[in-house]
Structure 1
Amino acid sequence: MSSFLLPYGSTFEKISLPPGCKARLFTPNLVEPVENPASEIKRVLDEPIGSVRLSELAGAKKNAVIIVSDHTRLAPTQIFLPYLVEEIVRGGISTDDIAVVVATGAHRPAAGAEVREIVGAEIYNTLECLNSSQEPQDCVEVGRTSRGTPVQVFHRVAKADMKVATGNIEPHWMASFSGGAKALVPGTASRVTIEKNHALSVVGHISRDPGQNTVRADLEEAAALAGLEFVFNVVVDHHGRLLKAFAGHPVQAHRAGCRLAGRVYYADPGPPADIVVASAGGVPKDQNLYQAIKALQNAAAVVKPGGTVALAARCREGYGNHVFRGWVEAGRSEAETLERFSRGFVLGGHKAAAAARVTQKCRVHLVSGLPGQVAEMLHCRPYRSLQQAVEGALGRVKTDNPDVVIMPYAGLTFCW
């Protein structure tokens, strides 16, 4: 009998498979983390890609904003942020004129304690730290992209002399990869801008190559219109450990990071499986259902049509998005949800559509902290434990030797 531990919130779910199951692990590729994160951070700030040093850029500016990821991301912001501040101060900008903006995009604002945890106590007590806002009245329109996206940016970001975007780089279903300009748009953009940009995933070209991705091209054009000059990105492993950092030009530095992120997070799962047992990856990947859908999509890519995905996602914050909730609770079939979505892109509705595509392909057994009726409205079957979900999946197969893929970090494990 084979046993596995899969992350679930801040704990783990244990499963045991009976003899005869052909089980295999599907995880991100192993890359050794750097031994000294501080040295790596200093190295890339000393030698930025396609740009002068951050301190030199700061020399001609009066104030600056540093855009950081929110609580749903793995970016080790509290580790690298002090070095960015030090570099900006070296260029002549006082700490009184540096603000840290948490890029919330379409997510909820980070609470005060969460902001402190994101940026670290020293930065929190020294600099002004605030959330961005997606409300159009809190944003300033700075232009329009060639694809027609109005570029409405949170006013504190729009009005800053210097803008620095930070974050981690990992595969992204719409924008090819996270990171780079994406921290500014959609990260600090209005709801209108986010929706217009994301709608290009329906009418544009979606490619794993960031240079051939319409959503990515649009958001990079938008960020350039907003005045983004410098990015600091990291690639981390599924434990959040720093693998490498990248800094400099918003496109050139980002592309260098994407090449590494692709090698880490894209892998060959082998042939499609009868059963996929997956975890979103624990906190922060399973904080809410909105985030956990990414793991569901990745797991569904590995399972046979008609097979079963057993997904563990704690979802302690519930749905994570009120529009998404409205779509789920509308009580529509998968076909009706997809037909509604085909009439026009709706931010939040896109997650319901993504889930509907999965549940049309395969059965989903959901282990979460959500009420059972939520799973049922999502066309999933609720289970109290991952072991029970697995046993339910095994009961469906017509062979004594089912192929079972184990994905402990499905939110970060992508198929070639």
Structure 2
Amino acid sequence: MAHSIPLGKGSISVSLPSCDVTAVSPPGGEAVDVRERARAAVADPHGPRLAECVDPDDTVTIVVTDVTRATPDDILLDALVDELERAGIAREQITVIVGLGLHRPLTDEELRESLGNHADLAVNHDPQRTVEVGTVEGCPIELFEVAAQTDYLCSTGMVEPHQYAGFSGGAKTAVIGAGGESQIRYTHGPEMLAREGVRLGRIDDNPFRDFLDRAGDEIGVGFCLNVTHGPEGITGASAGDPRAVVRELADVARETRSVTVTEEYDVVLAGVGAPKDRNLYQASRAPTYVALGARNPLRDGGRIVVPATLTEGAGEGTGEKRFHEWLSNAADADSLYREMRSGYEPGAQRAFVVARVLREHDVWVTNSQHPELVEDCLFEAADRPEDAIEPGSDVLVVPDALNTLLV
């Protein structure tokens, strides 16, 4: 039996006749009409309506996600802009910031594709143009000056499993996406990532998530509109108070994405697909989600196989370049992990968590446009998944690895 695995915007068929193969997919949920559900969420939010939070002469900034997340920002912006117009806010009083963190800026074409009719309102975040607006746990909280100068701050977001925050979304879009290196360095440093509770799928008693929420208070994220998705598409939307929004949609995501795994396997074949498989930085989330989640299904010495196009190589942003530099200059995963325990620049945290995985498991990246880069970064490269999986292996196939919680 062949298995369909995402690759870019399409898929590949993988046949492993000599292996014992188990395929798992989350239960999913019924896809909703995103436009309808977004407008309903804005009309019935957690807390007051957005139109009640602003005055007609206010300037309003909305921080949205970048191309590394499949958030329907154009539709979410439609709902938010309409609500602001209801409050008397003119279009020229609204600014949209693309929350890049340390990722690369979006091109004009990407802005039009992701933001639709609102692309003319957009500006790419610039981490070199930030101002300090407060502190949390002694960490200076920096914000893109465009956002710092606004009267009211909103955000969109995708609530999906996140390696450190448990689930993304809420204040994170603005705190990290429109923030400076200070809080990125603090939250993504080895001390924070080693804390109890910082893990995939967990928001309660998670120090990383707690920091994001408090930093969101400091920068003034007053209202957010988030969605979550499953295999069938967008499965929910929620608006209003960032903490309540994340909690509501995380519950939806757990119901639609959790899969119970009781056995151990020689190989996990982990699908990624677009937009995450466009570079190694993002595609490397798959092996870390598998091995560092609530339940690692691999036997000792087991391997993870990830088909990924890598059209952008390692990635083009500052964070992606730092990730590549650490991995490509390392002799081996163990020495890299020990060296990075002493600290690293923001963006390099992906190399740190990848090193944690590579100490225990081989990771193969197949079907990529840059196999030489893959091997320079301590991974193994192969043309096809079949070439990376030994005959007779017990294989767990997870077609949508970034949206499946193995428990």
TM-score (ref. length: structure 2):
0.92
2:229 and 2:235 in contact (8 A); partners too: yes
1:164 and 1:231 in contact (8 A); partners too: yes
Letter in 2 for 1:294: R
| Equivalent residues in 2 for 1:3-402, closer than 5 Å | 3-19=2-18, 21-34=19-32, 36-49=33-46, 51-59=47-55, 62-120=58-116, 122-124=117-119, 127-135=120-128, 138-145=129-136, 147-199=137-189, 200-203=192-195, 205-207=197-199, 208-238=201-231, 241-280=233-272, 282-300=273-291, 301-320=296-315, 321-390=320-389, 393-394=390-391, 400=392, 402=393
> Shift of the alpha carbon at 1:308?
2.3
Partners of 2:115 and 2:124 lie apart in 1 by 12
Letter in 2 for 1:170: E
1:74 and 1:236 in contact (8 A); partners too: no
SS in 2 for 1:270: coil
Letter in 1 for 2:121: E
SS in 2 for 1:304: strand
**1:397 aligned residue:** none
> Shift of the alpha carbon at 1:60?
6.1
1:9 and 1:286 in contact (8 A); partners too: yes
Is the alpha carbon distance of 1:368 and 1:108 closer, same or farther for their aligned partners in structure 2, counting shifts above 3 Å?
farther
Letter in 2 for 1:314: T
Alignment RMSD (CA, Å): 1.8
SS in 2 for 1:184: helix
2:163 and 2:289 in contact (8 A); partners too: no
SS in 1 for 2:355: helix
Letter in 2 for 1:32: E
Letter in 2 for 1:304: R
1:171 and 1:265 in contact (8 A); partners too: no
Partners of 2:165 and 2:220 lie apart in 1 by 20
**Identity of matched residues, %:** 29
SS in 2 for 1:58: coil
Partners of 2:304 and 2:227 lie apart in 1 by 31
Which digits, 9 at most, give the CA deviation of each residue in 1:109-135, with x for residues without a partner?
Answer: 111111111111x222xx421111122
- Unpaired segments ≥5 residues, structure 1: 395-399
SS in 2 for 1:110: coil
Which digits, 9 at most, give the CA deviation of each residue in 1:280-327, with x for residues without a partner?
Answer: 2x1112111111111111333322111222211111111121111110
- Unpaired segments ≥5 residues, structure 2: none
Partners of 2:337 and 2:14 lie apart in 1 by 34
1:164 and 1:229 in contact (8 A); partners too: yes
Is the alpha carbon distance of 1:314 and 1:269 closer, same or farther for their aligned partners in structure 2, counting shifts above 3 Å?
farther
Which digits, 9 at most, give the CA deviation of each residue in 1:387-406, with x for residues without a partner?
Answer: 3223xx32xxxxx4x42111
2:175 and 2:219 in contact (8 A); partners too: no
Partners of 1:205 and 1:33 lie apart in 2 by 31
SS in 2 for 1:258: helix
